[in-house]
Amino acid sequence: MWTPSVVMGPARGFRKVTLASLLPLLLLSAGCGVGRAMPREERHRLRDQVVEMFDHAYQNYMDHAYPADELMPLTCRGRVRGLEPSRGDVDDALGKFSLTLIDSLDTLALLNKTEEFEAAVRRVLSDVRLDNDVVVSVFETNIRVLGGLLGGHSMAVLLREGGQHMLWYQDELLHMAKDLGLRLLPAFNTSSGLPYPRVNLRHGVRGPETRTGTETDTCTACAGTIILEFAALSRFTGDPVFEAHARQAMDFLWEKRQRNSNLVGTTINIHSGVWVRKDSGVGAGIDSYYEYLLKAYILLGDDLFLHRFNIHYASIMKYISQPPLLLDVHIHKPLLPARNWMDSLLAFFPGLQVLKGDIHNAIETHEMLYQVTKKHNFLPEAFTTDFRVHWAQHPLRPEFAESTYFLYKATGDPYYLEVGRSVLENLNRFARVPCGFAAMKDVRTGSHEDRMDSFFLAEMFKYLFLLFADKGDLPFDVEDYIFTTEAHLLPLALSTAPFAPSPPAGNTTTGEELDDSNFDWSCPNTRLLFPDPAFPHSVREPIRIAVHKNCRRAAPRGDSGVGRGAGTPPLRALDFMANNPDHLELLRRMGVNLLHLKDGRVQLVQHATQAVSAVAAEDGLRFMQEMMELSSQQLKEQLPPRAVQIISHPFFGRVVLTAGPAQFGTDLSKSSTGVQGSVAVAEPYSGCTELSNTDLVAGRIALLQRGGCMFAEKARHIQRAGAIGGIVVDDSQGSSSDTAPLFQMAGDGHSTDDITLPLLFLFHKEGNILLEALREHREVGVLLSDKARDRAALFKGKAIASSILESSVDSQEEEDCPAEEGDHTVAGAPTPSAQSHASSKQLDEQAESKKGCTGEDGPGDGEGVAQGREPMGTRTGDMDNQSDDSMLTDWTEDREAFQQMDKDEL
């Protein structure tokens, strides 16, 4: 919602009704951006395409998933909690209350789908039940379900008052909203007023049957993102209890801020108010707390919220903002960075800065985000300060589109229409699948996750539609509404609703003195902010250059060998190759044994007494120390995954599965085309003996099951059968790249130079998607490659529906950063071990990627070396390794942050 004029007045007590006339002041800059304006016809084409995309997502949910909470777009079925493998805290958003339908209600109304909206409301009223014995996230249920019901109620009342639609409506959605609000209230039964993070919809909290009430911690945003929905519920119903509890939670968070830095931490103890995690930023765990402070002032007209927001904002700009970056710091030591990466949820912040009136900083941060997006097609879930991928997922988050819309409304610069076009086209090109839109498992390869969150329909399509639509395309004036963090529409008229809540017990802010200096920030006079049409461009250009400077040119490939000077060990860890007989003999002489594990990995163990001499034993000990240090370093680097792209009918390249590579055979990272062919199941399925169906396998890509023999042995059998490639599917039921780290399939300790075909590994969940496709369709064609290929290139010159390739023919404005082949510390040696399964399950997602835009794309000829070796050790005693302790600390912090993001979806 575009309401920057609402935050303008320096005098306390301003209300929306007195400020609406000031809106044109901020819109004076409309049309003054640099560059050619987008033709009206093109904007309308994009507007209509947004509607078509929403229809594709919504209709597939209704056809294949409803009444389930979410659609699983790869397997074309609903995600029902308890019937699908648990995703941990992510599933706390699912309450068996048709989440996606409720979250989509006001999107239907905004997109002029009045009949569909009316039908959806009737379905909610007839089918949805809230009295479910299920534990849900208070935060997610509030913003998605309560917000969805209130947004739907607002739209139903609007249509009813129009006199043509919803005339039968008697505030039924509001009654459901109050019922849900009452079910959430038990979570606030704490001494602090901060809510428990979870509540049982039927039983509340703290009873044995609730399976909740024992938690002690919650995130700042979880407790501070309640006020809009609860206050709206109180204003709509006249019952002050909801707003009173939400205000008490906000008051407590304010009181517990760090008084010197005026920052809040990420996680707080709900009973004592002690900060559990003291890192502070504007991303995951905190983001919407700041958003709701400012928007609560806009919606409710209470100057106290603006006063607090401005104090926080000044500290954010002093400590966290390092233009164009926004970096987490420690609340007690705000000059000390807490990490060197940013998460994608901070992409909302430029939009909030627009509402604040700080357009210059909004342009800077947004441009940085856009440049990162251009390099990876989507904004990675986390990326480093030098713009490399840190976490490679992208669950179709809408925050970047949100900020793009707000900046376009503030500047009128057609540049932001082009940004929106790129968002729209990338969704169609890379995320669209036959049954909806699939989240990206890895933005580098284009692989998918069987997931389409409800916020995709609730937010993404609203902001894109508003970006391209004319005012006459909208069924109502959006200036009369504010967007919640889930983009639900609440009417600003609520600020004038008669309401006089009693101050909640323990309110420490009664009589809080408001400092007039905190109201100095107001919406700017755009005639001064934009002295010439080139202003936004002049702010963006240095950011673009700064991001691009991190894409260094590829260095010439150096000698793959490592020099050995006098006094160095006879064999260095960097040189070691597990299939080199000379190296194996050197290991034997040093008392080091190589063990082949059942899963294809190898492990090194030293017995000093077996060395041929004391000197050799010392060499062996030094070798093992080097190997442990190398393992510690390399386990921090993310394994470059490969992609299995299903290209046959009806998928046409729209389904991409994350795969692990092999240490042998064709290196797909060096192939510009990959290997393409039809899939055939090998007989025997294990591939451990000569195949009996060579006629079927010849010229195809063989599908095999893991287990029974070494990976290299499987590869040789299918190669002799005439296969052009192979895919090994994990035999462990339920395994998935979502929960287990990828690993390289190791050789057998002997030379594998004879293996010339590519072999990829799929976990059971991903492999089952391929098997289901085989069961349903006679022919299934796949492409094995280092990353998903553009469908326009795949099907160039071939007959394929034009709608599939629409928006795919335009090339990207800019290619990914070129690979810098000399970046790794070693070249020419395959790894002695695959990545350990004993490592953290988050390792795949948290280890810093070496494939981003710093030129560190890969190790060239020595690809295997830098990929997750088995942590080595000696059998003669544990060795104190400080680097391992430091690494474990880093992993623990990253894992907590990642789990918090999944839990909160902020």
Indicate which residues carry an active-site annotation: 140, 287, 381, 399
- Residue 828 CB neighbours (<10 A): 18
The answer to whether 679 touches 703, Cβ cutoff 8 Å, is yes
The total of other beta-carbon atoms located within 10 Å of residue 335's CB is 9
Residue with the two structure tokens 């894992």: 895
Question: Is 487 in contact with 459 (CB distance < 8 Å)?
Answer: yes
Residues 6+ apart with CB under 8 A from 748: 579, 596, 710, 711, 712, 713
CB-CB contact of 817 with 551 (8 Å): yes
Find how far residue 450's CA is from the centre of its chain.
Answer: 14
Specify binding-site residues for Ca(2+).
Answer: 485
The DSSP code sequence of 415-481 is: HHHHHHHHHHHHIIIIIEETTEE-EEEETTTTEEES-B-HHIIIIIHHHHHHHH--GGGSSS-GGGE
Name the packing angle between helices 399-411 and 461-468 (round to 10°).
20
Write b or e for each residue in 721-737: b if 16 or more Cβ atoms lie within 10 A of its Cβ, otherwise e: bbbbbbbbbbeeeebbb
Determine the Cα–Cα distance for residues 758 and 355; give it in Å rounded to an integer: 52
Burial class from Cβ neighbours inside 10 Å (0-12, 13-18, 19+) for residue 801 reads: exposed
Q: Which residues are annotated as a binding site?
A: 485
- Cα–Cα distance measured from residue 645 to residue 448, given in angstroms and rounded to the nearest whole number: 10
C-alpha torsion sign, points 393, 396, 399, 401: positive
Classified as helix, coil or strand, 550 is coil
Residue 447: phi, psi to the nearest 5? -75, 155
Q: Other C-beta atoms within 10 Å of 116: how many?
A: 18
**304, 515 contact by CB (below 8 A):** no
Q: Where are the beta strands (DSSP E) in 41-88?
A: 70-72, 77-79
Cβ atoms within 10 A of the Cβ of 78, count?
19
**Buried-state track 621-632, b at ≥16 Cβ within 10 A, e below 16:** bbbbbbbbebbb
